[in-house]
Amino acid sequence: MSSQRQDLLKRLKTDSFDLLVIGGGITGAGIALDAATRRLKVALVEKGDFASGTSSKSTKLVHGGLRYLKQLELRLVREVGRERAIVHRLAPHLVKSEKMLLPIVRGGTYGKVGTSFGLWLYDFLASVTGTDRRRMLSKQKTLNEEPLLRNDGLLGSGLYAEYRTDDARLTIEVVKTAIRHGAVCLNYVEAENFTENKGKISGANCLDHANGERFGIAANLTVSAAGPWVDGLRKKDNSLTGKRLFLSKGAHIVVAWERLPLKHATYFDVPVGRMIFAIPRQRTVYIGTTETPFEGNTNHVFANLPEVEYLLNGANRMFPTAKLTLSDVESTWAGMRPLIYEEGKSAGEMSRKDEMFVSPSGLISIAGGKLTGYRKMAGKVVDLVVKKLASGHSRQFSACQTHQVSLSENPFENAAEVIDFQKVIEEKLKPFGLPGFYAAYLVENYGRPALAIIDQALAISETGEEAILKSELRHCFEHELVLKPADFFERRTGRLYFNIRSVEQHLEAVLRAFQVQFQWPESTLQQEREDMLRLLKNTCPMKS
Ligand code: FAD
């Protein structure tokens, strides 16, 4: 066990907290950070790895949600639209500005006038200024910008500003920042049930999945930010009444950029139903998402063949020369949107607004919402928490601070600094003989620690991909609470989705490094190997 984990575990067992947060997705992480920066004593437990729920399975956009304009959710568009700029400022290496192309096609969702007005309103609500404002392009200019687009039926396009990120990295950076501010956050600890004192929740009984131990956490207040699992915990609290969750499934596929060499992220119509994104990312392009009611095991959510085919068909229809086939799909992922159920509405029509429930025992549950709005959601929850904590006591708490809390220890001032730093990394990487995308990958993933990762690989005089990968792993052991190979391959590095070949190629070396780090017996090593092989298979269902 790492010394950091040991220390955090000890504090979970022995300290008494103002607030216990259940769930280490972006919502729970945001609440822990907000509360810690207001000087509350906070604990957070996550039953799997941080971001192992929906917060690693999104479209990875910090966006205003253009489609919510259509549903006339102007307030939501405005709120999340403005949040984009704040989250970008807090982590400019991780939340990056990205121009999005919206082709206008005959018979499509948006006409020329509608698109022009819609994008103008979108920018207006989100206070977008200067060159980031939307531009409307003629058919010819659109084809110059994106030659792969289908020619027939194309009327023109709108080019507008969005931000892209990595959802799991954003979550882990928020968790790490919360820990730096005194929160005690630990993964692989499940809240099994609640403890009560005079009818009020006084904490939770927990199971440490890393060693099988059970222990209690004492807290004045408890917040459930368990995403798709919120109703399960409300049931344990005997408070599952009134509004409930509705889970909708969304899948994505990943192809090599060479097979769909897009110049721009694109948001386009598919024949039946919703619009989908195709987003270039380093050596790949990912395409998604679908939207269907989710049924089944909430701990086992993967894309299936019909979903993969639906996305391939959608992409082939918009980019007909690409002729993508099943064999082009390198990887996939799928997640569950925890929506608030609305009678008579389809999954696509249900609101993405967040909602809080407070039960008679005092359990505060928060669900719905978006990755983009995590800071605002957290602010709302912690406002309620401090109100409850302050009532009848003399304690005073400040207002939300997180708009000024940078999400890295040694932050970048702005996007220009990130670009300069990436050039330094490109130079430093030359001896390793790696493909060109590696500099962007390391900087977007780790920020400034990318330099130390390379230096450490150089210090042991190794070059090549495995040297960098081992050095990344060391960094993750020391600073990012990884416990299992999937934590590293899927959520700390995104390699499972965006560089799956590197996972297949270096799996054994990584497993051995884990064995040494955690002194696994051969049986554990074999179990972890089988888990990873199963994960690889589920991630690429068309290969089986
Ligand atoms: P989760 O990330 O699911 O976190 C809940 C956590 O609670 C889980 O990790 C779970 O393991 C843990 N947990 C559950 N029970 C317990 C327990 N008993 N003890 C301890 N831990 C427990 N939003 C955007 O802004 N931009 C997008 O581009 C976008 N795209 C999306 C695409 C798809 C396909 C989907 C599904 C969603 C998308 N979203 C997007 C929405 C966004 O991803 C979610 O709103 C957000 O990730 C939800 O985070 P969460 O923390 O509430 O839930």
Claim: this prediction has a pTM higher than 0.95 = yes
Q: Which of 371, 490, 497 to mutate to test the pocket of ligand 1 (most atoms within 8 A of CB)?
A: 371
| Number of other residues whose CB lies within 10 A of the CB of residue 299 | 11
Q: How far is the CA of 120 from the centre of ligand 1 (A)?
A: 30
- What is the pLDDT at residue 542? 76
In this structure, the residue with its CA closest to atom 35 of ligand 1 is: 58
What's the gap in Å between 402 CA and the centre of ligand 1? Answer: 20
Distance (angstroms) between ligand 1 centre and the Cα of 24 equals 9
Please tell me the predicted confidence (pLDDT) of residue 281. 97
Residues with CB under 6 A from ligand 1: 22-28, 45-48, 52-55, 57-61, 63, 190-191, 225-229, 233, 250, 289, 335-337, 369-372
Residue closest by Cα to atom 14 of ligand 1: 226
pLDDT value, residue 461: 78
Q: What is the pLDDT of residue 70?
A: 76
Cα–Cα distances in Å, from 487 out to 372, 473, 493? 23, 10, 9
Percent of the chain topping pLDDT 70? 99
pLDDT score for 173: 98
Express each pLDDT in 102-161 by its tens digit. Answer: 999 988 877 899 899 999 998 999 888 888 899 999 999 999 999 999 999 999 999 999
Is a pLDDT exceeding 70 seen at residue 468?
yes
Q: Is a pLDDT exceeding 70 seen at residue 252?
A: yes
The vertex-393 CA angle with 30 and 19, nearest 5°, equals: 25
List the structure tokens of 459.
Answer: 């210090």
Q: What gap in Å lies between CA 304 and CA 314, rounded to an integer?
A: 16
**pLDDT tens-digit series, residues 265-298:** 999 988 776 799 999 999 999 999 999 999 999 9
- Arithmetic mean of pLDDT, 517-521: 97
Q: Is the pLDDT of residue 351 over 80?
A: no
Q: How many angstroms is it from 22 CA to the middle of ligand 1?
A: 12
**What is residue 197's predicted lDDT score, i.e. its pLDDT?**
95
First to last CA, the chain: 35
Confidence of residue 401 (pLDDT cuts 50, 70, 90): very high
Rounded to whole angstroms, the Cα distance separating 324 from 482 reads 35
Quick check: 67 pLDDT over 90?
Answer: no
Q: Which residues of 95-112 are buried (b: 16+ CB within 10 A; e: fewer)?
A: bbebbbbbbbbeebbbee
Band of the pLDDT at 352, cuts 50, 70, 90?
confident
What is the model's pLDDT at position 544?
A: 62
* SS3 (DSSP) at 310: helix
Chain-wide mean pLDDT for the chain? Answer: 94
Mean pLDDT of 26-32: 98
Rounded distance, CA 501 to CA 540, Å?
12
What is the predicted pLDDT for the residue at 394? Answer: 78
Q: What tokens appear for 55 in the block?
A: 């917060």
In angstroms, rounded to a whole number, what is the distance separating the alpha carbons of residues 69 and 120? 11
User: Which pLDDT score is estimated for 291?
Assistant: 92
337 CA → ligand 1 middle, Å: 7
**Other residues' Cβ atoms within 10 Å of the Cβ of residue 226:** 26
pLDDT on residue 341: 81
Task: Say yes or no to pLDDT of 490 above 80.
Answer: yes
- Write the pLDDT tens digit of every residue in 204-239: 999 999 999 999 999 999 999 999 999 999 999 999
Residue 474: pLDDT above 80?
yes
